[in-house]
A and B are shown apart, each in its own frame.
Chain A
């Protein structure tokens, strides 16, 4: 059983479209995250979320929004996609509060915006 899964693995789309990436975890963890990894491999946290608090990285455009239907899922919705959104997006989870202890990463979603 995969601990943290993401779908789709690859996503190719046109500029201006709206798309979602799904993340599911079966670890029972309290906190989930979204990261963006660019072509230089820099990893930037976009959001961290538990059932009490959403922490947003202030540099993230408001075209990006996390949506959590339940504790096991944190989806990433992106409006009006731009070329610069092309990257690998990772979902991650941790047992405790944001950043406190080890994070478990999903396999990543490679987004290409044409």
Chain B
């Protein structure tokens, strides 16, 4: 079946360092969404990318959607303690009748 894997599963960084999480799907996705879940909280939508090769920025966060629409990345520049949480990619299958969350990357930022 469809799988959406993220690497790394865990990442510890010093505050101020950069961070990247990679998302890889076994099949083509219609779009890719990114969510952030703070410890003890619920997933919160960050952004959606739709076009092949699309790049979007939100302040220190940069999101990319791969050319083949099977992979994506989230890069955070100069991490802050407020960036702590688990980042999930997610997306519907090409037919749109199934929706998958990635396995998540848990980010710890050491002050």
- Chain B interface mostly helix, strand, loop or mixed? strand
Q: Are B92 and A90 in contact (CB under 8 A)?
A: no
Distance (whole angstroms) from the CB of B72 to the closest CB of chain A:
15
A100 adjacent to B96 (CB under 8 Å): yes
Whether the pair A103, B98 counts as a contact (CB closer than 8 A) is no
**Chain B contacts with A in 32-75, Cβ cutoff 8 A:** 33, 37, 41-45, 48
Q: Does A64 contact B (CB under 8 A)?
A: no
Least distance between B93 CB and chain A CB atoms (Å): 8
State which of B43, B97, B104 has its C-beta within 8 Å of the C-beta of A42.
B104
Complex: A25 Cα to B101 Cα, angstroms: 22
- Smallest CB-CB separation from A97: which chain B residue? B96
| Tally of chain B residues near chain A (CB < 8 A) | 24
Looking at the complex, which one of B41, B48, B101 makes contact with A45 (CB distance below 8 Å)? B101
A99 at the interface (CB under 8 A from B): yes
Chain B residues within 8 Å of A105, by CB: 42-44
Choose from A41, A43, A99, A107 the contact partner of B96 (Cβ within 8 Å): A99
Question: Which residues on A sit within 8 Å (CB–CB) of B104?
Answer: 41-43
| Residues in B neighbouring A41, C-beta threshold 8 A | 37, 86, 104, 106
Residues of chain B touching chain A, judged by Cβ–Cβ distance below 8 Å, are 30-31, 33, 37, 41-45, 48, 86, 88, 90-92, 96-101, 103-104, 106
